[in-house]
Structure 1
Amino acid sequence: MKLWKTILAAAALSLAAATSAFAARTDLTLGIVLEPPHLDPTAGAAAAIGEVTYANVFEGLTRIDDNGQVQAALAESWAVSDDGKIYTFKLHSGVKFHDGSAFSADDVKFSLDRARAKDSLNPQKPLFAHITDVTAVDPATVKVTLDGPQGNFLYDMGLVAAVIVGKGSADGNKDKPIGTGPFKLDHWAKGSEITLVKNPDYWGTPAALDKATFRIVPDAAAAVPALLSGDIQAFANMPAQDALAQVQSDPRFSVVIGATEGETILSINNKKPPFDKLAVRQALASAIDRGAIIAAASNGLGKPIGSHFSPGDAGYVDLTGVYPHDIVKAKEYLKEAGLENGFSATIKLPPVPYARDGGQVIQSQLKDIGVNLQIIPVEWAEWLSQVFTNKDYDLTIVSHVEPNDIDIYSRPGYYFQYDNPKFNDLIKELDTTVDNDKRLELLGEAQKILAHDVPAVYLFELPKIGVWDAKLQGMWTNWPIEADDLTKVKWTD
């Protein structure tokens, strides 16, 4: 009898070991290029914040899916008044924040009122400017009143900066984010990694992953060895550079080239001489060869753009021919501006490869027309402080990854310091236009104004170079918003 018990116990152990060996894993280490400055998407402009937290930790009334479409999130449904001014949202019941507190309409009211307040630090505060009132009708119903019809309101409510936060935990979200999402923060080792774990009390479909670690890997020199060794199993957008071919030839990995909403531009301080002169900006645009920059800064995968709009979006107008690469014409523009002998300026470059690599090419190209650029490398926090906030710069390179953000050129005090009343009026009309055909017409006009006025030199649309273990499913091909949404990611056997 004892012998049989011993045999059965051994068989059970063997079966358990075999089951464990063939079970799909439930952890993931994901490489990201930039470490977020903090983890509150309602209080910072850095795209890296949303890359980690959107849909994973925080959720909005609506959400944007991998095809760029609006889907229900914390709001299970909504109704719109006949005049387009009142949205009544029916909220999911039984939702809890990660600290155990119950989610209700009061949290929606708190979040939207906080975002639109005079002292709001929300990086997308204009999204909420048309809200005139938010009323918690009952715990599961909230009514939002606008000052007029807004064609993009439901879309805007699904963006990163529109996530819903709890009144009791909002002030601590930078270091200890408390959301309603399927993952919650486990720990953050500054300078190294951010680890999320499955939220066991999630109200919706549970995540397949038990743990997800976001490892900060800023360049290809570190990224490729980490991937090949298995220390990292995925990059939503890999800084592969020249090593991409090596990864593509390895059958262990899936390499998926997708699109982003990242308009990569040479940003110009439009109020700082000599860049306040149109002819100077025209000279810069004419001196720059987009093809050479794309080859150096995006593995040749970026798509050239001539205005602040993604080629993948409806309403895109190809304006790359407005200022073709023409050194002779560029010198003529400088002469028109009274600067035929050229001038000197600085270009501040954040640490992302497309900026550092692209900046060197631009420095060389502008030298051909007598513009001598001093490259100043800055860390991301410095860029946000010096360039974005304090407008202490001449030129810089950055990808604007927020979707449908052509309106930023109409925002008072935005770091471009660009002000065109005609453009501003066009954006105001666009805001209140619901008819889709008319919206596309207005978007085309807005693109043309920017292309001709050159408040920035438009370079290329940032590609998304997804690289991950071939057994991993559910990663986004495209980035309609910059988010590493892990809600449907799982391993196959």
Structure 2
Amino acid sequence: MKRMFIAAAVAGAILAPFSAMAAKDSVVFAQQLEPPGLDPRTGAAAAISLTTLYNVYEGLTRIDGDGMVQPLLAKSWTISDDGLTYTFKLEEGVKFHDGADFDSSDVKYTFEANKAEGSQNKRKDRFEVMESIETPDANTVVITLKERRPDLLEQLGESTAVIVDPATDANNATAPVGTGPYKFESWTKGDNLKLTAADTYRDKDNLPIKEVTIRFIGDGTARLAALLSGDVDATDVPPELLSNDALKDGYNVIIGNTNGEVIVSTNNANPALSKLKVRQAIAHAINRQEVIDGAMFGYGTPIGTHFAPHHPDYVDLTGTYPFDPELSKKLLAEAGYPDGLELSFKLPPVENYARQGGQIIAAQLEKAGFKINIENVDWPKWLDEVYKNKNYDLSIVAHVEPMDIGIYTRDNYYFNYKNPKLNETVAAAESAASPEERTKLLQEAQKILAEDAVNGYVFQLPRIIVARQGLNGVWKDLPLFATDVARMSWSD
């Protein structure tokens, strides 16, 4: 059935009128998941930043496609010798989409709101480390830290640090207002999001793309069909469809890296899962390569801890608990479950790594003596039951934020994992005085997580996207989840 559908899509693409193709000043993207809201500071879903970061919202800095820090709302900065004080000079003449002027007071408001009691910012800790935020004039911000943060400039380019307009902040989840090149036009739930070039944007005359449509198409075959018919210009494509002959001419198949660690997330508060031997049994039961081959058609890099393999500080710890289902059974029995252990396994609606990968991992766990009850859930239910209320035993998800090993130190995080030594190690790494010291501490933290088998560490999520030839500026790698349309253009 899938092959027939693709063949029909190919035929449709051949017969599609030229007018179906994108105009040279517009672009249509398709993505699998629809964002649950449009404020990237507070929502956990990567789909939020993928649609809004650098398009609607901007931060003081920007991360480019090579992972390098670039100026954005801050045109320059200086750092004190002790690494505690950052002085930012802001771009002048910047306006929010509602016409309000942007200045240093907006930075102060945003960052203080991010660290305030009751803040829902995903990385609240990054702003709590700010001792003071001073605004000596409209175009200068001086941030003094309680302790060193060598990664601060990178962190200020992420979705959690975008600058918002105080007057419209409360409505950003549904009617976002930023300083970016594109303003929010409309959101048809279940179908698409539309952005248009903002008249208020400081460099509006140099925007090659004037209109942006992001379509939400859950099925991978349907996304491919939309691409081949000319209705979509770029989309992520399931790896099993990349061999389609229709992609050989007129399309660029882009394979790269992301910072997404695919893990079997584990509720460490569950009485059974709080036992190290049970978690070790899970780790020994997982055959990473079988998951990569079966769910991702060979795309993906095995991981043994929560860290990106392409990062220079990564340690290969995949051998900590090698695949050994017999040892898994033995550990399960030693932990008090000689007749097996029944666990729920909630799978979010992501085609390959979650739904297909989850089925493969469930079968592997069954062979090792576990009894797995799979429950397929939609994204809002996953966010509510697993992420927010921690009502689960096992789940599977890709954690996509860069350098996010610090999530294991958060109080009340959904893993329910507590380890004072890890907290101390990560905190020391974040404020390390030298790169060498930081590397040593980050590698120690990786080993703690691997040996504790906090989660089942499976593989690094690849970047797989197909774009119509002529669309320039599509990132090969995703150092963070963003679709930087302002720096894209069409060529003949």
Q: TM-score range by the shorter chain?
A: over 0.9
2:62 corresponds to 1:63: yes
What is the distance in 2 between the residues matched to 1:401 and 1:442? 22
Q: Secondary structure at the match of 1:120?
A: coil
What is the distance in 2 between the residues matched to 1:79 and 1:248? 51
What is the distance in 1 between the residues matched to 2:224 and 2:239? 10
2:239/2:299 contact within 8 Å kept: no
Deviation at 1:346, TM superposition (A): 0.5
What is the distance in 1 between the residues matched to 2:280 and 2:261? 19
Report 1:155-304 matches (<5 A): 155-204=154-203, 206-235=206-235, 238-246=236-244, 249-304=247-302
Q: Which amino acid aligns with 1:202?
A: Y
Deviation at 1:421, TM superposition (A): 1.1
Other-structure match for 1:484: 483
1:223/1:240 contact within 8 Å kept: no
| Unmatched 5+ stretches in structure 2 | 1-18
Other-structure match for 1:149: 148
Q: Deviations over 1:260-301 (max 9, x none)?
A: 000000000001021000000000110111111111222210
What is the distance in 1 between the residues matched to 2:484 and 2:247? 26
What is the distance in 1 between the residues matched to 2:429 and 2:334? 35
Moved more, 23-32 or 217-226: 23-32
Other-structure match for 2:439: 440
What is the distance in 2 between the residues matched to 1:190 and 1:210? 22
What is the distance in 2 between the residues matched to 1:116 and 1:23? 43
Q: Deviations over 1:10-36 (max 9, x none)?
A: xxxxxxxxxx9x997111110111100
What is the distance in 2 between the residues matched to 1:478 and 1:283? 34
Report 1:418-433 matches (<5 A): 418-433=417-432
**Cα-Cα RMSD:** 1.5
Deviation at 1:217, TM superposition (A): 1.1
Q: Which amino acid aligns with 2:293?
A: A
Q: Which amino acid aligns with 2:69?
A: V
What is the distance in 1 between the residues matched to 2:350 and 2:339? 32
Deviation at 1:221, TM superposition (A): 2.5
Deviation at 1:41, TM superposition (A): 0.9
What is the distance in 2 between the residues matched to 1:285 and 1:113? 41
* Cα distance, 1:314–1:204 mapped onto 2, change above 3 Å: farther
Deviation at 1:249, TM superposition (A): 4.5
Q: Secondary structure at the match of 1:315?
A: coil
Q: Which amino acid aligns with 1:344?
A: E
Q: Deviations over 1:332-357 (max 9, x none)?
A: 21122011211111001100111011
1:306/1:322 contact within 8 Å kept: yes
Report 1:73-472 matches (<5 A): 73-204=72-203, 206-235=206-235, 238-246=236-244, 249-353=247-351, 354-472=353-471
Other-structure match for 1:31: 30
Q: Which amino acid aligns with 1:275?
A: L
Deviation at 1:178, TM superposition (A): 0.5
Q: Deviations over 1:52-91 (max 9, x none)?
A: 0011110001111111111111001111122221111110
* Cα distance, 1:65–1:247 mapped onto 2, change above 3 Å: farther
Q: Which amino acid aligns with 1:231?
A: D
Deviation at 1:241, TM superposition (A): 3.6
What is the distance in 2 between the residues matched to 1:426 and 1:182? 40
Q: Secondary structure at the match of 2:486?
A: coil
1:24/1:492 contact within 8 Å kept: no
| Unmatched 5+ stretches in structure 1 | 1-19
Q: Deviations over 1:138-187 (max 9, x none)?
A: 11011111102111111111111100001111111111111001111111
What is the distance in 2 between the residues matched to 1:476 and 1:23? 19
Deviation at 1:432, TM superposition (A): 1.3
Q: Deviations over 1:362-384 (max 9, x none)?
A: 11111112211111111111111
* Cα distance, 1:372–1:312 mapped onto 2, change above 3 Å: same
What is the distance in 1 between the residues matched to 2:203 and 2:156? 19
Moved more, 23-32 or 349-358: 23-32
Deviation at 1:100, TM superposition (A): 0.6
Other-structure match for 1:43: 42
Deviation at 1:478, TM superposition (A): 0.3
Q: Secondary structure at the match of 1:487?
A: helix
Q: Which amino acid aligns with 2:81?
A: D
* Cα distance, 1:434–1:199 mapped onto 2, change above 3 Å: farther
What is the distance in 2 between the residues matched to 1:223 and 1:264? 23
Q: Secondary structure at the match of 1:260?
A: strand
2:186/2:194 contact within 8 Å kept: yes
Q: Secondary structure at the match of 1:291?
A: helix
2:22/2:28 contact within 8 Å kept: no
Other-structure match for 2:9: none
Q: Secondary structure at the match of 2:421?
A: helix
Q: Secondary structure at the match of 1:245?
A: coil
* Cα distance, 1:425–1:350 mapped onto 2, change above 3 Å: same
1:150/1:434 contact within 8 Å kept: no
Other-structure match for 1:8: none
What is the distance in 2 between the residues matched to 1:149 and 1:265? 30
* Cα distance, 1:176–1:24 mapped onto 2, change above 3 Å: closer
Deviation at 1:43, TM superposition (A): 2.1
Q: Which amino acid aligns with 2:383?
A: L
Instruction: Point out the structure with max Rg over C-alpha.
Output: 1
